[in-house]
A and B are shown apart, each in its own frame.
Chain A
Amino acid sequence: MTTLRDILSQGVQMCLVLLLAPLLTGFVRKVKARLLRRRGPPLMQPYRDLIRLMRKDVVLADNASWLFRVIPYLMFAGTWVAASLVPTFGNGLLFSWSADLIAIIALLGSARFFQALAGMDVGTAFGGIGSSREVMIASLAEPAMLITVFSVAMIAGSTQLSNVAEFMGSDAVGLRVSLGMAFVALTIVALAENARIPVDNPATHLELTMVHEAMVLEYSGRHLALIDLSSQLKLLLYVSLIACVFLPWGTAAADAGVVRLGLGALLYLGKLVVLGFLLAVFETSIAKMRVFRIPEFLGAALMLALLATLLRFVSGSL
């Protein structure tokens, strides 16, 4: 019975993230547009774009290798699995016991690795620029992310997100300096990983400044749809991760009833709205940084994460 319940819970959460991901992106775009006194596209626009791209033919460069065609599927699969590992409205995910936070980082890391390969596959200058910038950012963002995970794991005593979320929701956690630092570090990493301002601009048309967009310039049709959906899933993943670790209130326990689950789902939606709104406000109020300023920005995340870990070592209560 428990197994069936777990499978159901996991299945619902997997479908939920897939369905919600475009909506979150649409919401952030809408808020940004309103902040700029524009009307903005409708909330449902990302879904329409995905459907449109799915219907379109794929245009491939003559010299595109098999890798170029396979990579969108790999990216999508890796990101979706990673996203389904993060508890959304309820804890006790079935996958949680086989894969933890480090696995999430590994999955996202592989997706990124393949994307960088795809960027260079066709051999255009922009793809190369995008890949080299992406890898530079990743080489700093991933260690920062790992150390953040370590500091959180040391406090919670587990790298499994279900356990972490449960611990964070309990009274045992208290107010900790190290958690605050980990939060800031994770936020910076999330901005960098999702190609948001100030690291990258998801809405730019300037091919020379692109990072993420430069790598996928050669994609079209269903390939592009999958890549777009992967990026949307990734944004949802990071927002959920921040919500699950730092705003764990209301997440339903593993054995909760339907009402608690429903309440958890509502609260989860509320958290997405708040975090998405904050993201839009932040992105509107800051310019993009110079490419060579990004290492300093991510270096700050790395240092904060490291400090958080050290503080936890020095004193169990910090």
Chain B
Amino acid sequence: MDILDNIPQVKAVLSHRPWPRAVVTEAGWQAAIDRLVEGGLTLLGLWGEPTAVHMAVRDGGSAEIAVVTYECAAGTFPSVASRHPPALRLERTIHDLFGLVPSVADDLRPWLDHHAWGKSYPLSGRNASRDVRPYQFLPAEGEALHQVAVGPVHAGIIEPGHFRFTANGEHVVRLEQWLGYTHKGIESLMQGASLEVAAKLASRTSGDSAVAYAFAFACAVEAALQIEAPRQATLLRALMAELERLANHLGDIGAICNDASFALMHAQTGILRERCLRAANVAFGHRLMMDVIVPGGVTRDIAPDGVAALRALLAELRKVFPRLVELYDNTASLQDRTVTTGIVKAEYARRFGAGGYVGRASGRDFDARRAIAYAPYDTLSFEVPVLQAGDVNARVWIRIREVEQSIGLIEQILDQLGPGGLETALPPGIGRGACEGMALTEAFRGDVLVWLRLDGELRVERCHLRDASWFQWPLLETAIEGNIIADFPLCNKSFNCSYSGVDL
């Protein structure tokens, strides 16, 4: 309770697990923001409810996590973003969905709301409407500056998002993103959903992180209900999470090289990625391993021939991958593109709490698998690679090192797998009060946060899913400044942020 000790609070919420939550006064809310601004705390998430806002923070020194809640009696709350910019998009989302107004906010433009929902503030529970105004991009003034608008429809098959460049010839002066094109209304669909439906929804938030989301959702439910998944189930969960990480990192490494028109790497890693997905299919009956992880455990054991398939995969990776790493390292023309391109300053990575390869390539030593040490990672040995350069090359190298670590982790897990129970039965719902749970897991992009409140009948009352990309997208805007327009696809691919994950 160290974090909350320094914050004036009204009352602690006892049904919130595993980390404490407290309802705070305005002074307490401001004190938390103070500590965010001075760098003692890192923002993990900021989300709303019809009459309250929650802010999850992590203490960089003591590694503790806590949630502070501000009750918006008058429909307003003191703006976090006006003092701590990483909260900006989250705050605009809260305004879009719940109609809560951050007071003294500098930027209240809609974020997810493209005026296509037919109503405003869909989760607020009241019938309010806001003015429909054309979206205003931030101005950049100067002679010879011109704008280049890219997307949401792109020449390739990628997710939709709008990028507005202000450029001076080839040099980018400012980039502004506008997302929200894949809004699916997940938070609203979650309300009242049964655990089974909600787990499915969670794993479909961002398809490439299906396992990580399901894992986080299951952990949050288990925390709320104070149950633990059997050892065998947690091992299988980690196995799937590492397989997912392998497949995505391999795909990314090739795709980054392909954006520098080095198709050879893309073709080779494409084969390896496909092998991962097929091995996953053999082992768990689904290429993306959807719906295997459920609250309480896993729905199925690894298939009888799954272990052999995975061992064969690892053998091939151990043989082929080092050669590809050598190819990447020895192709001078490729290095010329990736080294010093799109640098993310360590200071920004720290302030934004950027997770995953974006943060670790810029010196932020954080990995939820080690920092939270959720089961079974507390008993597995692995290293977290960290680099300082912050450029595209560093982000590629972090992925390469993580592929190597994941191979090692899968081997350890395969050695430890044995017969064992797969599921812990959920407690009967009748007669319980509401309970709240929260969990962080490490997806391939970075930490996924899931917060939820279950009602007495084990239905989801509120659930918030925060993708790692919320704190990575803004850094892409800073990374491209001073670079040239033609290098943007390369920078963008090295971030590979999720559109679907932040559009909710």
Give A residues with C-beta under 8 Å from B. Answer: 32, 35-38, 125-126, 129, 132-133, 197-198, 201, 203-209, 217, 284-293
Contact = CB atoms under 8 A, between A and B. Distances in A.
B76 interface: no
A209 B334 contact: no
A38 B271 CA distance: 10
A288 B341 CA distance: 14
A207 B150 contact: yes
A208 B264 contact: no
Given A35-B264, A125-B148, A287 B257 contact: yes
B393 to A, nearest CB: 12
A288 B337 contact: yes
A291 B172 CA distance: 13
Interface stretch (B452-460, B471-479, B486-494): B486-494
Contact of A288 (B149, B260, B268): B260
B479 to A, nearest CB: 15
A126 B257 CA distance: 23
A198 B154 contact: no
A197 B258 CA distance: 12
A208 B488 contact: yes
A290 B271 contact: no
Given A37-B268, A209-B259, 12 more contacts: A37-B271, A38-B267, A129-B148, A133-B486, A205-B156, A208-B148, A287-B261, A287-B333, A288-B333, A289-B333, A290-B336, A291-B170
Interface in B170-193: 170
Interface residues of B, number: 33
B268 to A, nearest CB: 8
A230 to B, nearest CB: 21
B440 interface: no
Contacts of A129: 148, 485
B15 interface: no
A207 B489 CA distance: 9
Contacts of A207: 150, 154-155
Interface string B134-155: 0000000000001111100011
B263 interface: yes
Given A125-B149, A129-B148, A209-B489, A287 B262 contact: yes
A137 to B, nearest CB: 12
B331 interface: yes
Interface string B242-262: 000000000000000101111
A291 B484 contact: yes
Contacts of B150: 207-208
B85 interface: no
Contacts of A286: 262, 331, 333
Report, nearest first, the 4 A-B pairs whose CB atoms are least far apart: A205-B156, A288-B261, A36-B267, A287-B262
Nearest to B261: A288
B60 interface: no
Contacts of B146: 125
Contacts of B154: 205, 207
A1 B264 CA distance: 54
A217 B267 CA distance: 26
B261 A198 contact: yes
A285 B327 CA distance: 10
Given A197-B261, A292-B484, A287 B337 contact: yes
Contacts of B433: none
Given A37-B267, A125-B147, A290 B486 contact: yes
Nearest to A205: B156
Contacts of A36: 263-264, 266-267
Contact of B486 (A198, A217, A291): A291
A203 B266 CA distance: 14
B169 interface: yes
A263 to B, nearest CB: 37
Contacts of B485: 129, 208
Given A129-B148, A205-B155, A289 B337 contact: yes
Nearest to A126: B148
12 contacts: A37-B267, A37-B271, A125-B146, A125-B148, A204-B261, A207-B155, A285-B264, A285-B331, A287-B333, A288-B261, A290-B487, A291-B170
Contact of A132 (B149, B169, B264): B169
A288 B271 CA distance: 22
Contact of A287 (B147, B271, B334): B334
A293 B336 contact: yes
Interface string B331-343: 1011011000000
Given A35-B264, A209-B489, A290 B169 contact: no
Contacts of A132: 169
Contacts of A292: 170, 484
